[in-house]
Amino acid sequence: MAEHRQLQQAALLDAARVLLAEGGREALSFGALAARTGLARSSVYEYFRSKSELVEALCTVDLPLWAAEVEAGMAVRDSAVERIEAYVRGQVSLATDPLHRAVVAVAEYELDDAARARIRAAHAGLTAMVVSTLEDLGHDRPGVAASLLQGVVEAAVRQAERIRGEDAAGAQAVREIADTAVRFALDGLRPADRGGERPAGGPAGSRARSGRGER
C-alpha cells in the first residue's frame, strides 16, 4: 500500500511537471491532474490536500536536483574563480529551462514564507559550497559575500527569464547576460586589500581620488 501511494504521488508530480511546462502556472489544477493521471478529482485530494501542498512537494523534489546540477558544475572546476563562474552560469542556464521557470513561478504564487524557508534549507549544500569558495578567494565575511553574489545571480536570472525565444538570437542574449553577470560578480567579489580602503582591481578613478597612483 505504501509503495502504491508513493508511485501515485510520483505520477501526480510528473503530471504536474507536464502541465506546468506546457501551460504555465494557470494550467496546474487538480481537475487537470485528475484528467492526465486517470484519477477522480476527489482522489487527487487524498494525496495532496491543497495546491500549495502539491507545489511544495514538487519544489522539494525538483529544486534540490537543480541545485545539485549547479554543484556538479562547480565541483569539476579547479580554481575558486572558475567555481564562482560555474555557479553564476549554471543558475542563469536554468532560467531558460521552461519547467524550471514554471515551477519557480508557481512556487512564488502558491507558497507562504514558511514553505519557501523549508525549500531554501534544501539548498544548504550549494550555499556551503559557495561560502567555502569565497573563503578560498580570501573573504573575511564569506557569508555576506555569498548573499551579495546571489543578488547578482537573481538579477541575471530575472533578465534571462524575459528572453522568451529559444532561437539562436535568444540563446545569444542569454549568454550575454551570463557573461555580464560573471564579470560583475568576479569584479565585485575580489576581497578588499589589507588596508580595507578599496576592493582590489577597483576603478582607476578611485586611486586618483584617494591620492594614490598620482605623481
Domain map of the chain by residue range?
Answer: 1-49, 51-193
| 163/144 Cα distance (integer angstroms) | 30
Q: How confident is the model at residue 95 (pLDDT cuts 50, 70, 90)?
A: confident
SS3 content of the chain, % helix, strand, coil (to 5): 75, 0, 25
Residue 191: its pLDDT value, please?
64
Q: How confident is the model at residue 207 (pLDDT cuts 50, 70, 90)?
A: very low
Residue 192: its pLDDT value, please?
60
Whether the pLDDT of residue 206 is over 60: the answer is no
C-alpha dist (Å) from residue 178 to 81, 116, 137, 174: 15, 26, 21, 6
C-alpha cell at 62: 525538483
Residue 29: its pLDDT value, please?
93
Whether the pLDDT of residue 193 is over 90: the answer is no
CATH number of 51-193: 1.10.357
CATH number of 1-49: 1.10.10.60
| 102/151 Cα distance (integer angstroms) | 21
- Residue 8 burial by Cβ neighbours in a 10 Å radius (0-12, 13-18, 19+): middle
Q: How confident is the model at residue 45 (pLDDT cuts 50, 70, 90)?
A: very high
Predicted TM-score of the model (pTM): 0.74
Whether the pLDDT of residue 49 is over 50: the answer is yes
Q: Do domains 1-49 and 51-193 have the same CATH topology?
A: no
Residues 65, 132, 64: CA angle, nearest 5 degrees: 10
| 151/93 Cα distance (integer angstroms) | 16
C-alpha cell at 129: 559550497
Backbone angles phi, psi at 199, to 5 degrees: -65, 145
Whether the pLDDT of residue 215 is over 50: the answer is no
